[in-house]
Chains A and B, each alone.
Chain A
Amino acid sequence: MTLLLEMKNITKKYGDFTANHNINFDVRKGEIHALVGENGAGKTTLMRMLYGMEEPTSGSIMINGKEVHFHDPSEAIRQGIGMVHQHFMLFPSFTLAENIVIGGEPKRSGLFDRKAAADKVNELGQMYGMPVDPWRKAGDCPLGVQQRTEILKVLYQGADVIILDEPTGVLTPSEVKELLQSIKRLAAQGKSFILITHKLHEVMEAADRITVLRDGVITGHMESNTTDEEQISRLMVGRDLIPMSRVANEPGASVMHVQNVTLAGAKGAKPLLDNVTLTVRQGEIVGIAGISGNGQSELLQVISGLVQPDSGIVELNGKDVTGDSVRAIREQGMAHIPEDRYMWGASREATVLDNGLMGHQHQYKKGGLIQSHKLRKVVSGWVERFAIKTGSLDTQAQFLSGGNLQKLIAAREFAQNKPFLIAAEPTRGVDVGAMETIHGELLAKCKAGDGILLVSSELTEILKLSDRVLVMYEGAIAGELSAAEATEEQISLLMAGGKRQL
C-alpha cells in the first residue's frame, strides 16, 4: 500500500509545555488508522496540525512524498485532508445540501443553483452509501444524520484522508454501528481514515492500525490484529487498571426519590424523560451510565429544580419538592456538582472567593451582609485541602485551569454537607491526582451516611464508585444492575438499548 500521508518527527510546544514530542505518524491509502489516548494525550493537537489549524514547532508533513505547509484549513482541504470535528461545524438553519456544498457552491447564471446542489448530494450519497435528504434543515436532523452530512461535506471537498475526532460520543449505539460500517465501506473504496477515539471496542472493530499516544509521545504502534484492548489500555494509561471492589454500606432511608417523572420534548419528538423512577438512599452511591444525550442532563435539571417536570414527583429527604425553586430544594438538602463547570458551575469574571459562595450564600448572611471573614477562612481551607492552584482568593476564576476550577466547585459542594449530592461528570478534565482526591471525598461522604447520584460518561468511574448502576437510554431507565452484576458488557448492552441478560 502506498504511503499517502506522513508526519515526520513532529514536535509542538506551547511555551514551555510540550504537547507533541517527536511524533512519527503515517497513513496508507484505504486504511483506517486509529489514534488513541486519554484526554490530554496530544491526539487533537496532532490532528490540528494536519488540518492546518496549528503549525508544528518542528518536523514535517508529507503528502504523497511532497512536503507541505498548511497555514489554514483551506490549504489542507485543497490537499485532500478533511476533518470532521467533535463538535459539528454545521449551519442549523441551512439545508443539508447547502451545508455540504458550501465553499464550492454550484452556480447558474451567477446565482446559487440549489437544485444542482441537491442532485450532487444525492449522487454522492449513492456513491458512498450514505444517503441524506438534501432539502432537510440541518438543525432538524438527528445527530447521526448531521455527522453523515459532515462526512459527505469533506468528501464533496475532495478529501482522501478523513480525520474523525471522537465521532461516536453523541451517537446512539445503532448510529455507531452504521458509522463504522460506512467507514469500512469508504476505506474499501480507497478513502483513508484517521480515527481519534478512546473507545477501545470501536478501535478493535474498525481499525487496521493503531497508534497510542500518552503525554505527547507515542507509546505503541501496531496492526490491530496483533493486539487486544487490554494491551492498548495499558499503553494508554501506563499502568494496569485495577478493578475496584468497594465495601458496600447498608443503605438507609430514601434520601432522594423521583417517581414517574416525564418531560416532554419538542413537538412530535421523543420525550426527554420517559416515566423515570429511581431512588437514592442514605449511604449509597447510585451511578447513572449512558451515552450523554439520553436524558441524564434533563433528569438532573428536574431533580435540582432548574426545570419543572410535566408529570411525576420529586422527593427530597421525604418531602415533596416537585416544582419547588432551586433555592428551596438546596435548602431542603441538596448539593450539586454540575456537568459543565463554565456554563453552570462558575462565573469566569468572579473571584475564587465569590465563586465559592454560590449555592449556600444565605448561610453566610448576617444582617443582609456577607460574612466575608468566615467565608475567606472556609474557602482557604478548601484551597489547602484540595490543592487548588490559584494566585489568591481574589483571582478571577477564568485564570484557573479547568481542573483546578473543578476542584473548587467540588470542594464547595462537598462542604455544604447536604444529605444528597448530585455529582455530574465530577472528574471531567481533571488530572489523576485530583481525580483520586474527589473520588476519595465521594466515598467518604457516602460512608458518612449521605446519598450520592453519580452521572458519568466514564464507565471506569461508574464501576469504581457505584453501589448500583442505572443505565439511561432515550430518556428512560433501561435497566438496573447491582455492583456485583455490573460489568462493562452488561452496561454496554443496556446502553445500546438491548435487554439485560439474566
Chain B
Amino acid sequence: MDQLFDVSLFNSMLRIVTPILLAALGGAICARVGLFNVGLEGLVLVGAFSAILGNHLLGNVWLAILFAIVCVMLFSLIFAYISINLRANVIVVGISMNFLAAGLTTFCLRAIFDVKGAYYDKNMMGLPKWDIPVIKDIPVLGGIVSGHSPLVYLAFFAAILMQIYLFKTVSGFRLRAAGENPVAAQSLGIPVRRIQYGAVLMSGVLCGLAGAQLSLGQVTMFTEGMTAGRGFIALVATMLGQSNPIGVVASSLLFGFMDAFSIRLQGFALPAQFTQMLPYIVTLVAMFFFKDRSYLKDAQRANGSSR
C-alpha cells in the first residue's frame, strides 16, 4: 500500500460509510417527525451487540441480522415511549439511551460471554461478500462497488426507498406534515403519535442494520463502545443532509471517505492518534457550513405567545 488514493480506498469507504449512512437515515426519519434522536449511538451499539449475540445463539448470520433488528426495535420503543408519551426532553432521553446501551452491552458481554472488553469467535460466520455479476468486471468501478456485504447495498437502496417514500407517497407526505406542524396535522385527523412511533421503530430497524454491519461486516467481533462516536457523526450527517435521504447519502459519503482515508494515512508514518482524529475534525469543519439556531426555536416553542 504505497499509494494514497486507489481503488481499495474507495472500496473501504463504501464499507465504512454503511453504518453511518444507515444510522443517519434513522436520524433523518426521526427528525422528519420532529424528534431529534441523539440516541443513535446507543441504538447502533445495541445493534452491534445483538448481532453478535444472535449469531452466537442462532448460528446463522441472516437470523442474526433479524435478531439485531428486533432487539434494537424493542430498545427504541423505550425512547419512543418516554419522548412521545411522557413528553420528556428529547435530548436528555437520547443521552440516557446511550448510557443505557453502553451499560447493558457491557453487562451482557460479561454476563453472557464472560469476557471483558471484546468478544471474538473465529468460528462465527460473518457477512458474506457479494460479487455482483457484470459490474465486478468493470475496471475501477467494479473494484469499488462489487464485493461488499449485502448490508452495504441495502443501505443505499434504503436511502432511495426513503426518498421515494417521503416525497412521492401520500403516507410520507403526511409523515412530514406530522413533523412540521403536529398541531395542524392532528387537527386534520393525521395520527401524529402513531406516526412518531413508526418513525422511531424505523430508525430502530436502520440502526440495527448499522450495528450488524459494524460487528459482522469485516471482522466478526464486538468491542465495548465500538461505535466510537459514529452515532454522533451520523447525526451530523443527518443535519448536513437536511434530513433529506439523498442529501444524507452525500454527507455520509463525505464522512465515510474521511474515516477510510484516515485509516489509509496510518500506513504513512503519521501517528495513529492523529489519523484517528481526522473524522472528528472533518465533522466539526463540516458543521461550520450550517448554522444551528435550534436553541432559539426550542425556546420559542417552550415560551410561546400569550394568546
Contacts and interface: CB of A to CB of B under 8 A. Distances in A.
Interface of A: 53, 72-74, 77, 86-87, 89-94, 98, 102-103, 105, 107, 110-112, 340-343, 347-348, 402, 428-429
A92 B176 CA distance: 12
A93 B184 CA distance: 13
A92 B173 contact: no
A103 B190 contact: yes
A73 B307 CA distance: 21
B177 A91 contact: yes
B303 A348 contact: yes
B294 interface: no
Given A92-B181, A428-B306, 9 more contacts: A73-B189, A91-B181, A111-B168, A111-B169, A111-B170, A342-B303, A343-B304, A402-B306, A429-B306
B189 A103 contact: yes
A303 to B, nearest CB: 21
Contacts of B307: 86-87
B189 A102 contact: no
B189 A91 contact: no
Contact of B177 (A86, A102, A347): A102
A246 B181 CA distance: 47
A87 B187 CA distance: 13
Given A91-B180, A107-B170, A110-B169, A343 B303 contact: yes
B3 interface: no
A77 B190 CA distance: 13
Contacts of B74: none
A343 B300 contact: yes
Nearest to A52: B187
A94 B180 contact: yes
Give chain A's interface secondary structure class: loop
B305 interface: yes
A343 B305 contact: yes
Interface in B283-307: 300, 302-307
Contact of A341 (B168, B173, B188, B306): B306
A50 to B, nearest CB: 14
A105 B170 contact: yes
B198 to A, nearest CB: 18
Contacts of B140: none
Contacts of B168: 111-112
B104 interface: no
B187 A73 contact: yes
B183 interface: yes
Nearest to A74: B189
Contacts of A91: 176-177, 180-181, 184
A360 B27 CA distance: 44
Contact of B188 (A102, A110, A342, A429): A102
B56 interface: no
B193 interface: no
B136 interface: no
Contacts of B176: 91, 94
A340 B170 contact: no
Which of A94, A112, A341, A347 has the most chain B CB atoms inside 10 A of its CB?
A112
A81 to B, nearest CB: 13
A32 to B, nearest CB: 24
Contacts of A347: 303
Contacts of B264: none
Contact of A102 (B174, B300, B304): B174
16 contacts: A53-B187, A77-B189, A89-B184, A89-B187, A90-B181, A90-B184, A91-B177, A102-B190, A103-B189, A111-B168, A112-B169, A340-B305, A340-B306, A342-B305, A343-B304, A348-B302
A400 to B, nearest CB: 12
A93 B174 contact: no
B189 A72 contact: yes
Interface in B252-307: 300, 302-307
Contacts of A53: 187
Contacts of B303: 342-343, 347-348
A70 B173 CA distance: 27
B43 to A, nearest CB: 27
Nearest to A406: B306
B88 to A, nearest CB: 16
B224 to A, nearest CB: 39
Contacts of A94: 176-177, 180
B174 to A, nearest CB: 7
B231 to A, nearest CB: 27
Given A98-B173, A111-B168, A112-B170, A103 B304 contact: no
Interface string B159-196: 00000000011100110110011011001111000000
A105 B173 contact: yes
Nearest to A345: B306
Contacts of B302: 348
Interface string B2-41: 0000000000000000000000000000000000000000
Contacts of B184: 89-91
A152 B88 CA distance: 37
B201 to A, nearest CB: 22
Contacts of A112: 168-170, 173
B180 A93 contact: yes
